[in-house]
Structure formats: structure tokens, C-alpha cells
């Protein structure tokens, strides 16, 4: 009897790097767009998200295994989720954006888990190509849609791990496979100086406090710099963090610096 992970493995010849990269990038773009629009009225946004979470049967955790358990077919979740996203695109109201983002984030987590990590577990070099192409797509989107200049991250030049993870690791930690190499001080500082380069990437924060429940994947959605009433400069970062549920949260610059200090790139 085979391991449950075997059903998700794909043959090398069947891997379409462009298709996979475009798929994960689409979720990231939808989430970033909606998070930015919804940040204009955080009170109304939070109220609507709370109403959705209070409905019977609504999952409040963004972990992929909460939507698709190991051994289940991810397409049974992703196909209707994608259809729902399409039906809300383009959003015609503030409420549509709340609904769309509520669907898109867990769908992104499921796609990343089952269509990338599990499917390409035997092909780390192809997974690396998907990650590079995804970032290129996001850079082009930021340049063409957001007007943000593209930048190249040194992480892209790193060689992929040529030894695939063992089935045991995938079974025990289905939502937390990530690079064991923590970001260097220079890399963290570069991200803080150029926050636009964080959009489209996934990080894994490992809390330095033993027994803490704050560890998990986090994704930067948007950021802004504004002047406060006392004329001080305020940095605001909108992000999703697994430890905080499905609602986008706002962090300050010091908070993000601390996240980066204990984070690694999430594969």
C-alpha cells in the first residue's frame, strides 16, 4: 500500500512551469488588489469578515489541511473556489472584495500545498523554476498595474535543494515545509528598504519563544507610507499570517522587521 503523498506526485514530462506559476500568481494578485481596496475602510472590512466567519460551516483557519485533508482531491475544492472567484471578478462592490479575498487566500494555500509542494516533491529543480517564473509574473504585474519598478531578489540566484523531502516530513508537517535557512540581516534589511519586493513571496516565521503559537506562513499584501498628525512618518504593512486567521492584519515597520528576523523563504 503506497503513501498518501503518492497520489499527488506528477511525472516530470507533465509539468507546465508557466501554467503553475500563473496559477499561484493569480491568487496573489487578487489578494493584493482586494487587501489594498479594503484597507480604505478597515472598520467596514472587519465587520464584513466577522459576519462571514460567524456563518455555520465557515472555516476560520487558512491552513491548506483545513480545506483539503491529506488523501483528498484538491480539485474538488479548487474548481468551485476558482469559479466563485471568477464570478466576483471584477468586483462590483466592497462586499464583493471581502467575499473574493475570503475565498482566494485559502485557495492559494491549497494550490501551493497540493499543486506545487506535493506535486513537485520529486522535482525540486522544476519547483524552483516555478518560483522564479511566479516572481517574474508578479514583478511584471507590479510594474504594469501598480507602477512599481521591478527588482531582483538575491534569493532567485540560490541553487534549489536537489534532495527531495521525505514522505514522512510531508505527512507530519503538511503546511510548514520551508527553507531551513533563515534570512540574513542583509536580506531582511533589503526587504525593509524595498517592501515592494516582498509582495508575491511567501515567508515562514518561526517564533523564538518556545511553545509559541505565532509560527506560520505569512504573505505581504500591500504597504503604505504616510505622515501622522504629529508629522512623523508611519509605515503600514497589510499582511496575512496563518497564526492570526484569515483576516488581513496591519503591522508596523518594527513588527515586520521582527518577522523577517525569524523568517525563512517558504518553498
Task: Check whether residue 200 and residue 116 sit in a common domain.
Answer: no
Task: Answer whether residue 94 shows pLDDT above 90.
Answer: yes
- Counted domains in the chain: 2
Each residue of 194-235: pLDDT tens digit? 887 787 678 888 888 877 778 888 888 877 777 777 777 788
Domain for residue 160, yes or no?
Answer: no
Q: Which grid cell sits at 154? A: 538575491
Task: Check whether residue 26 and residue 103 sit in a common domain.
Answer: yes
Q: Which residue carries 472587519 as its cell? A: 46
Residues β-bridged to residue 74: none
Q: What is the pLDDT of residue 148?
A: 61
CB 126 within 8 A of CB 14: no
CB 96 within 8 A of CB 107: no
Task: Check whether residue 223 and residue 101 sit in a common domain.
Answer: no
Q: What is the pLDDT of residue 96?
A: 96
Nearest Cα to 177, choosing from 91, 103, 264, 115?
264
Each residue of 117-154: pLDDT tens digit? 899 999 999 988 998 898 889 888 878 887 665 544 33
Domain for residue 158, yes or no?
Answer: no
Domain for residue 165, yes or no?
Answer: no
Backbone angles phi, psi at 174, to 5 degrees: -65, -20
Range of the domain at 189: 174-265
Domain end call among 131, 146, 161: 146
Q: What is the pLDDT of residue 149?
A: 56
Task: Answer whether residue 177 shows pLDDT above 70.
Answer: no
| d(C-alpha 20, C-alpha 34), whole Å | 22
Angle between helix 253-261 and 185-193 (nearest 10): 150
Task: Check whether residue 135 and residue 186 sit in a common domain.
Answer: no
Task: Check whether residue 141 and residue 235 sit in a common domain.
Answer: no
Task: Check whether residue 111 and residue 23 sit in a common domain.
Answer: yes
Reply yes or no: is the peptide bond before residue 90 cis, omega within 30 of 0. yes
CB 168 within 8 A of CB 222: no
Task: Check whether residue 55 and residue 125 sit in a common domain.
Answer: yes
Domain for residue 249, yes or no?
Answer: yes
Most confident of 23-32, 57-66, 218-227: 23-32
Amino acid at each position: 500500500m503506497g503513501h498518501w503523498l503518492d497520489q499527488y506526485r506528477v511525472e516530470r514530462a507533465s509539468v507546465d512551469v508557466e501554467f503553475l506559476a500563473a496559477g499561484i500568481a493569480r491568487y496573489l494578485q487578487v489578494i493584493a488588489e482586494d487587501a489594498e481596496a479594503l484597507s480604505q475602510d478597515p472598520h467596514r472590512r472587519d465587520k464584513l469578515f466577522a459576519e462571514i466567519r460567524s456563518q455555520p460551516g465557515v472555516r476560520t483557519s487558512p491552513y491548506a489541511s483545513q480545506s483539503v485533508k491529506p488523501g483528498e482531491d484538491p480539485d474538488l475544492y479548487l474548481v468551485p473556489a476558482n469559479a466563485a472567484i471568477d464570478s466576483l471578478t471584477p468586483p462590483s462592490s466592497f462586499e464583493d472584495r471581502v467575499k473574493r479575498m475570503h475565498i482566494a487566500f485559502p485557495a492559494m494555500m491549497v494550490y501551493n500545498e497540493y499543486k506545487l509542494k506535493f506535486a513537485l516533491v520529486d522535482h525540486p529543480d522544476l519547483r524552483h523554476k516555478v518560483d522564479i517564473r511566479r516572481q517574474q509574473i508578479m514583478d511584471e504585474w507590479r510594474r504594469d498595474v501598480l507602477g512599481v519598478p521591478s527588482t531582483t531578489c538575491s534569493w532567485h540566484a540560490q541553487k534549489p535543494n536537489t534532495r527531495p523531502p521525505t514522505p514522512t516530513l510531508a505527512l507530519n508537517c503538511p503546511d510548514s515545509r520551508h527553507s531551513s535557512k533563515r534570512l540574513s540581516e542583509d536580506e531582511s534589511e533589503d526587504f525593509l528598504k524595498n517592501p515592494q519586493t516582498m509582495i508575491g513571496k511567501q515567508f515562514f516565521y518561526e517564533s523564538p519563544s518556545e511553545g509559541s503559537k505565532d509560527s506560520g506562513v505569512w504573505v505581504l499584501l500591500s504597504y503604505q507610507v504616510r505622515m501622522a498628525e504629529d508629522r512623523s512618518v508611519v509605515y503600514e504593512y497589510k499582511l496575512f499570517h496563518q497564526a492570526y486567521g484569515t483576516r488581513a492584519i496591519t503591522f508596523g515597520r518594527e513588527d515586520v522587521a521582527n518577522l523577517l528576523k525569524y523568517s525563512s523563504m517558504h518553498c
